[in-house]
Amino acid sequence: MEWKTKITEMFGIKYPIIQGAYGGFGTSEIAAPVSAAGGLGIITAGALKTPEGLRKDIQKAKSLTDNPIGVNLTVGMCPHIDGMREVAIEEGISVVETAAFKGEEHGKRLQDAGVKWIHKVATVKHALIAEAQGVDAVVIVGMEGTGFKSIDQLPTLIAITWAAKQIKIPIIAAGGISDARSFLAALAMGAEGTYLGTAFMATQECPISEKHKQYMVSTRPDDRKLINKVLVPPDPKDLERVMKQKGQIPHSEWMSKLERLLLKEDPEEKQSFEIEEILKLAPASLAVSGIDDIPSVKELIDRIIRGAEEILTKGIFGSIRP
Ligand SMILES: Cc1cc2nc3c(=O)[nH]c(=O)nc-3n(C[C@H](O)[C@H](O)[C@H](O)COP(=O)(O)O)c2cc1C
């Protein structure tokens, strides 16, 4: 079956599957195998710490696959972000994702250099703003997903179907996608592509501890701690308190507080960028519902695609038979 969507066409990839960004460990080790298997692997610039580190990692990824690879610039968290952006352009990266905070300034520069600009948001409101700013495609992360939590975030099912009625540029769905059914459901909601963070963390290639991978296999999506971390939005009162501190304390300190709050952690504690600390901030999403073992990246992508093809060709939609 040919998996042609506006996103596969735009990015020049075989399957509408994109690997999520990971602060601390989103390097070529996970991005290259995803791209080699027909998805779009994303190198998280911040994980490489310096522009030269990013350059070396892009070159390493390119030595492993000829397929397109993306770069993520997490605004507010990625060090030397302007230099990182320029390295992505110089190294011929064809897709760059901005995330977290406003990415317009980077987006314009990227588009002028012929790079596709995608932006990741947590709400339909912000997706519409990104569309008005001229982004090429938008990633919308539903409530089931990890990462920055918004008090206005909606579940993936509602966010994507509602966005599809309003947004003209291609939408990439994220939040809780882990297997053939959730992949196909996202496309049925109107997405042109899917974006998987937690699911690619539970692969052999992902450079995190075996212990954390086993935690994802054994944790149920109705685990109380996980539900509290993922589904409960930040307290609006805490948000108001941190917002009031803007301009009153050094900007970097304020950003760090805001980031911690949006990741549902105590904003008054100091943030660390060690891998184990990042995994405490964002251990997994409700996508653990689809994680039963630790396959290779290629096995995971093949399972999703073959499973989706079987559903489409055999018509196994619940009890409905075409
Ligand atoms: C450990 C971890 C670190 C992450 N770091 C980043 C990051 O630095 N930048 C970013 O844009 N998203 C980051 N994310 C969010 C993912 O890229 C993605 O949006 C999210 O995992 C999608 O939801 P899912 O896990 O349900 O697939 C991170 C997620 C995890 C689990």
Q: What is the pLDDT of residue 202?
A: 98
Q: For the segment 84-142, what is each residue's pLDDT rounded down to a tens digit?
A: 999 999 999 999 999 988 899 999 999 999 999 999 999 999 999 999 999 999 999 99
From the CA of 181, how far away is ligand 1's center (Å)? Answer: 21
Q: Which atom of ligand 1 is nearest to the CA of 72?
A: 11
Asked if residue 197 has its Cβ within 6 Å of ligand 1, the reply is yes
Instruction: Compute how many other C-beta atoms are within 10 angstroms of the C-beta atom of residue 276.
Output: 12
Asked if residue 103 has its Cβ within 6 Å of ligand 1, the reply is no
Tokens of 309: 């093809």
Atom 28 of ligand 1, residue of closest alpha carbon: 22
Residue for token digits 């038979």? 321
Band of residue 222 on the pLDDT scale cut at 50, 70, 90:
very high
From the CA of 273, how far away is ligand 1's center (Å)? Answer: 14
Tokens of 235: 């307290």
Domains belonging to the chain, first-starting first, are: 8-219+282-312 (3.20.20.70), 235-276 (no CATH)
Q: For the segment 129-182, what is each residue's pLDDT rounded down to a tens digit?
A: 999 999 999 999 999 999 888 889 999 999 999 999 999 999 999 999 999 999
Interval 61-66 mean pLDDT: 98
191 and 167 Cβ atoms separated by less than 8 Å: no
Asked if residue 285 has its Cβ within 6 Å of ligand 1, the reply is yes
d(CA 178, CA 52): 33
Asked if residue 145 has its Cβ within 6 Å of ligand 1, the reply is yes
From the CA of 318, how far away is ligand 1's center (Å)? Answer: 30
The candidate with the shortest Cα–Cα distance to 21, out of 99, 91, 130, is 99
For the chain, how many helices (H) and strands (E)? Answer: 15, 8
From the CA of 18, how far away is ligand 1's center (Å)? Answer: 12
Q: Which atom of ligand 1 is nearest to the CA of 178?
A: 27
Mutate to test the pocket of ligand 1, among 146, 148, 255 (most ligand atoms within 8 A of CB): 146
26 and 41 Cβ atoms separated by less than 8 Å: no
Mutate to test the pocket of ligand 1, among 19, 22, 219 (most ligand atoms within 8 A of CB): 22
From the CA of 3, how far away is ligand 1's center (Å)? Answer: 25
CA atoms within 13 A of residue 290's CA, in its CB half-sphere: 25
Alpha-carbon separation of residue 168 from 10, 99, 128, 132 (angstroms): 14, 20, 9, 10
Tokens of 69: 């690879």
Please provide the average confidence, as pLDDT, over all residues in the chain: 94
d(CA 167, CA 190): 10
Asked if residue 142 has its Cβ within 6 Å of ligand 1, the reply is no
Angle at CA of residue 319, ends 315 and 322, nearest 5°: 35
From the CA of 101, how far away is ligand 1's center (Å)? Answer: 14
The amino acid at residue 257 is K
